[in-house]
Structure 1
Amino acid sequence: MVKCQKSMPEDLFSIQCDLNKKAKALAENYQQTGNLENLNEAIRIMEHVVDMAGEYIDPCVLSNLGDMLNIRFERTGSIEDLNRSIDASNMAADATPKDHPEHAHRLVALGGNLGSRFERNGSMDDIDRALNVVDIAVNATSEDHPDRAHRLTNLGTLLGIRFRRTGSIDDINRAINVVDITVNATSEDHPDRAYRLTTLGALLGARFERTGSIDDINRAINVMDIAVNATNTTSEDYPDRAHRLTTLGTLLGTRFKRTGSIDDINRAINVVDIVVNTTSEDYPDRAHRLTILGTLLGIRFERTGSMDDINRAINVADIAVNIVPQDYPSRTTCLNALGLWLYERAKQMSSIDDLNRAIDVINVAVDATPQNHPDRIFYLNNLGALFGQRFNRTGSINDIQGAIDTVNMALNAIPQDHPGRTICLHNLGKWLFTRFTQLDSIDDLNRALNLWKEAWRCHTAPPSYRIQMAQVAAMAFHTQSIGKESFDWEESSLLLQEAVNLLPTVSPRSLKHTDKQYMLAKFAGLASMAAATVLTAGKDAYHALQLLELGRGVIAGLLMEMRGDISDLKQQHPGLADEFTSLRDELDTSVDKMTSPISTDSTFPWESQERRRREADQRFSGLIAHIRAQSGFSNFLLPPTAVEFMTAADPNPIIVVNLDERRCDAFLIERDQIRVLPLPSLPLSRVEKHAQDLRSSRRAASFDATPMLEWLWDAICCLEALGFKNRISDNDWPRVWWIPTGVLSQFPLHAAGRHAPGSTDTVLDRVMSSYAPSVKALIYGRRHHVRESAGPMSDHALLVAMHKTPGLSTNGNLPFAATEVKMLNNLCPSLQLQPITPKLRKDDVLQHLQTCKIFHFAGHGQSHQAEPSQSCLLLEDWETNPLTVGDLRDQRLHDNPPFLGYLSACSTGANEVDKLVDEGIHLVSAFQLAGFRHVIGTLWEVSDQHCVDVARVLYETLRGEGMTDVAVCRGLHRAVRALRDGQMEGGPEGRDAILLGSVPKARGPTNHYWIPYVHFGV
Structure 2
Amino acid sequence: MADAVAVHNQGGALIEQYQRTGDLRLLDEGVAVLRDALRLGGLTETISTLASSLLHRYETAHEPADLDEAMELLTRLVDGPGVNLTQATEIVRVQRHRYERDGDLNVLNEAIALAQGVVQQTGPGQRDYDLMQHLLGLALAERYDRTRHLTDLEGAIAAHRIAADNARDELRPNMMLNLAATLRARIAATGDLSMLEEAEAMVGGALAALPAGHPERGNADWLVGALAQFRAQLSRDTDVLTDGIGALRRSVESANNPASLGTRLDSLAAALLQRFELSGDPVVLDEAIEVLRRTPPNAEHLTSLGHALRMRYLHLGDVDALREAVRVLREAVAAAVSPHAHTTAATSLTRAATELAERFPELVSDAVNAARDLVAATDSADALEMLAVALRMRFDTTDAREALIEAGELFEQVLRKRPAGDPLHPRALANLGAFWQQVYDLTGTPETLNEALIYYGRAARADPQQASYQHCFARLMLRQAEQTGDSSRLRAAARALAEAAASEALDPVTRVLAAHTASVTSARINDWEQALRGAERAMALLLRLARPDVENGLAELSGLVSDAVACAVQAGQLALATQWLEYGRDLLLGRVFDDDRAAFPPLGELQQCAVDGPIVLVNVSPLRCDALTLWPGRVELLPLPRLRHDEAVAHAEQFGADDHSFTETLEWLWDTVAEPVLEGVPEHTHVWWSPTGPLAGLPLHAAGRGGQSVVDRVVSSYTPTVRALAWARARAAAPVGAPSMIVVAPSDARHEVAVLAELWEAAALTGPLATRDNVLAALLHHPYAHFACAGEPSGNPARSGIRLHDGTVTALDIARLQLPASRLAVLSGGHLGGAFALAGYPSVIDTLWPVDERAAAEVTVAFHSALLDHGLSLPARALHAVVRELRDRYPARVWAAFTHTGA
Q: TM-score range by the shorter chain?
A: 0.7 to 0.9
Distance change in 2, residues 1:855/1:173 (3 Å) = same
Q: CA deviation at 1:280?
A: 5.8
Q: CA deviation at 1:682?
A: 1.7
- In the alignment, is residue 739 of structure 1 matched against residue 700 of structure 2? no
What is the rounded CA distance, in whole Å, between the counterparts of 1:162 and 1:383 in structure 2? 35
Q: CA deviation at 1:450?
A: 3.9
Which structure 1 residue ranges, 5 or more long, are not aligned?
Answer: 1-7, 28-37, 164-171, 205-215, 256-262, 301-308, 508-515, 565-636, 727-732, 805-816, 910-922, 985-1005
Report the secondary structure of 1:667's partner residue.
strand
What is the rounded CA distance, in whole Å, between the counterparts of 1:42 and 1:369 in structure 2? 52
Aligned to 2:804: 875
- In the alignment, is residue 1008 of structure 1 matched against residue 882 of structure 2? no
Q: Tell me the number of residue pairs that the alignment of Structure 1 and Structure 2 aligns.
A: 790
Aligned to 1:683: 644
Aligned match of 2:534 in 488, 492, 501? 492
Aligned match of 1:842 in 751, 772, 777? 772
In the alignment, is the contact (CA less than 8 A) between 1:751 and 1:1011 conserved in 2?
Answer: yes
- In the alignment, is residue 437 of structure 1 matched against residue 479 of structure 2? no
Larger radius of gyration: 2
Report the secondary structure of 1:682's partner residue.
coil
Distance change in 2, residues 1:491/1:874 (3 Å) = closer
Aligned to 1:228: 288
In the alignment, is the contact (CA less than 8 A) between 2:765 and 2:775 conserved in 1?
Answer: no
In the alignment, is the contact (CA less than 8 A) between 1:66 and 1:86 conserved in 2?
Answer: no
Distance change in 2, residues 1:674/1:867 (3 Å) = closer
Q: CA deviation at 1:934?
A: 1.6
Alignment of 1:370-381 (within 5 A): 371-381=420-430
Aligned match of 2:882 in 975, 998, 1006? 975
Aligned to 2:306: 246
Distance change in 2, residues 1:220/1:818 (3 Å) = closer
Letter in 1 for 2:886: L
Q: CA deviation at 1:177?
A: 1.9
Q: CA deviation at 1:287?
A: 1.8
TM-score, L = length of structure 1? 0.68
Aligned to 2:29: none
Q: CA deviation at 1:672?
A: 0.9
Report the secondary structure of 2:711's partner residue.
coil
Aligned to 2:454: 405
Letter in 2 for 1:367: R
Aligned to 1:160: 191
Aligned match of 2:366 in 299, 303, 316? 316
Distance change in 2, residues 1:522/1:719 (3 Å) = closer
Report the secondary structure of 2:710's partner residue.
coil
Aligned to 2:728: 781
Letter in 2 for 1:535: V
- In the alignment, is residue 557 of structure 1 matched against residue 596 of structure 2? no
Alignment of 1:856-895 (within 5 A): 856-863=786-793, 871-877=800-806, 882-885=807-810, 888-889=813-814, 891-894=816-819
- In the alignment, is residue 15 of structure 1 matched against residue 51 of structure 2? yes
In the alignment, is the contact (CA less than 8 A) between 2:771 and 2:804 conserved in 1?
Answer: yes
Alignment of 1:37-56 (within 5 A): 56=85
Q: Which has the higher helix share?
A: 2
What is the rounded CA distance, in whole Å, between the counterparts of 1:158 and 1:541 in structure 2? 61
What is the rounded CA distance, in whole Å, between the counterparts of 1:979 and 1:956 in structure 2? 14
- In the alignment, is residue 478 of structure 1 matched against residue 478 of structure 2? no
Report the secondary structure of 1:827's partner residue.
helix
Q: CA deviation at 1:391?
A: 1.7
Aligned to 1:753: 704
Q: CA deviation at 1:453?
A: 2.8
Aligned match of 1:644 in 601, 605, 610? 605
What is the rounded CA distance, in whole Å, between the counterparts of 1:400 and 1:291 in structure 2? 31
In the alignment, is the contact (CA less than 8 A) between 1:681 and 1:715 conserved in 2?
Answer: yes
Letter in 2 for 1:1012: A
**Higher mean C-alpha deviation, range 316-325 or range 269-278:** 269-278
In the alignment, is the contact (CA less than 8 A) between 1:736 and 1:770 conserved in 2?
Answer: yes
Q: CA deviation at 1:385?
A: 0.7
Aligned to 2:754: 822
In the alignment, is the contact (CA less than 8 A) between 2:586 and 2:721 conserved in 1?
Answer: yes
Tell me the percent identity: 23
Aligned match of 1:903 in 827, 837, 860? 827
Report the secondary structure of 1:311's partner residue.
helix
In the alignment, is the contact (CA less than 8 A) between 2:833 and 2:900 conserved in 1?
Answer: no
What is the rounded CA distance, in whole Å, between the counterparts of 2:139 and 2:811 in structure 1? 56
Aligned to 2:630: 669
Aligned to 2:17: none
Report the secondary structure of 2:674's partner residue.
coil
**Higher mean C-alpha deviation, range 937-946 or range 288-297:** 288-297
What is the rounded CA distance, in whole Å, between the counterparts of 1:469 and 1:82 in structure 2? 59
In the alignment, is the contact (CA less than 8 A) between 2:474 and 2:493 conserved in 1?
Answer: yes
TM-score, L = length of structure 2? 0.75
Aligned match of 2:355 in 296, 304, 323? 296
Which structure 2 residue ranges, 5 or more long, are not aligned?
Answer: 1-43, 167-171, 195-228, 253-262, 337-341
Aligned match of 1:940 in 809, 824, 849? 849
**Higher mean C-alpha deviation, range 334-343 or range 940-949:** 334-343
In the alignment, is the contact (CA less than 8 A) between 2:160 and 2:178 conserved in 1?
Answer: no
Distance change in 2, residues 1:927/1:430 (3 Å) = closer
In the alignment, is the contact (CA less than 8 A) between 1:489 and 1:536 conserved in 2?
Answer: no
Report the secondary structure of 1:459's partner residue.
coil
What is the rounded CA distance, in whole Å, between the counterparts of 2:558 and 2:693 in structure 1? 8
Aligned match of 1:266 in 308, 316, 319? 319
Alignment of 1:584-603 (within 5 A): none
Q: CA deviation at 1:942?
A: 1.1
What is the rounded CA distance, in whole Å, between the counterparts of 1:656 and 1:85 in structure 2? 85
Distance change in 2, residues 1:834/1:412 (3 Å) = closer
Aligned to 2:714: 767
Aligned to 2:402: 353
Aligned to 2:577: 544
Q: Deviations along 1:367-401, whole A, 9 cap, x unmatched? A: 34465443343233122111111122223444223
- In the alignment, is residue 184 of structure 1 matched against residue 243 of structure 2? yes
**Higher mean C-alpha deviation, range 11-20 or range 137-146:** 137-146
In the alignment, is the contact (CA less than 8 A) between 1:738 and 1:771 conserved in 2?
Answer: yes
Q: Deviations along 1:760-792, whole A, 9 cap, x unmatched? A: x32211111111221232223333346568xxx
Q: Deviations along 1:735-783, whole A, 9 cap, x unmatched? A: 12111222221111111121x3xx3x32211111111221232223333
Aligned to 1:522: 556
Q: Deviations along 1:825-863, whole A, 9 cap, x unmatched? A: 22114xxx5556571333322222222222212243344
Distance change in 2, residues 1:783/1:23 (3 Å) = farther
What is the rounded CA distance, in whole Å, between the counterparts of 2:781 and 2:729 in structure 1? 20
In the alignment, is the contact (CA less than 8 A) between 1:795 and 1:852 conserved in 2?
Answer: yes
Distance change in 2, residues 1:504/1:976 (3 Å) = farther
Q: CA deviation at 1:699?
A: 5.0
Distance change in 2, residues 1:900/1:254 (3 Å) = same
Report the secondary structure of 1:363's partner residue.
helix
Distance change in 2, residues 1:362/1:16 (3 Å) = farther
Q: CA deviation at 1:497?
A: 2.7
What is the rounded CA distance, in whole Å, between the counterparts of 1:704 and 1:10 in structure 2? 109
What is the rounded CA distance, in whole Å, between the counterparts of 2:571 and 2:162 in structure 1? 63
In the alignment, is the contact (CA less than 8 A) between 1:658 and 1:740 conserved in 2?
Answer: yes
Letter in 2 for 1:311: E
- In the alignment, is residue 928 of structure 1 matched against residue 837 of structure 2? yes
Letter in 1 for 2:568: V
What is the rounded CA distance, in whole Å, between the counterparts of 1:657 and 1:853 in structure 2? 32
Distance change in 2, residues 1:543/1:446 (3 Å) = closer
What is the rounded CA distance, in whole Å, between the counterparts of 1:547 and 1:201 in structure 2? 46
In the alignment, is the contact (CA less than 8 A) between 1:500 and 1:527 conserved in 2?
Answer: no
In the alignment, is the contact (CA less than 8 A) between 1:391 and 1:399 conserved in 2?
Answer: yes
Q: CA deviation at 1:941?
A: 2.1
Distance change in 2, residues 1:43/1:1016 (3 Å) = farther
In the alignment, is the contact (CA less than 8 A) between 1:221 and 1:248 conserved in 2?
Answer: no
Report the secondary structure of 2:191's partner residue.
helix
What is the rounded CA distance, in whole Å, between the counterparts of 2:676 and 2:742 in structure 1? 37
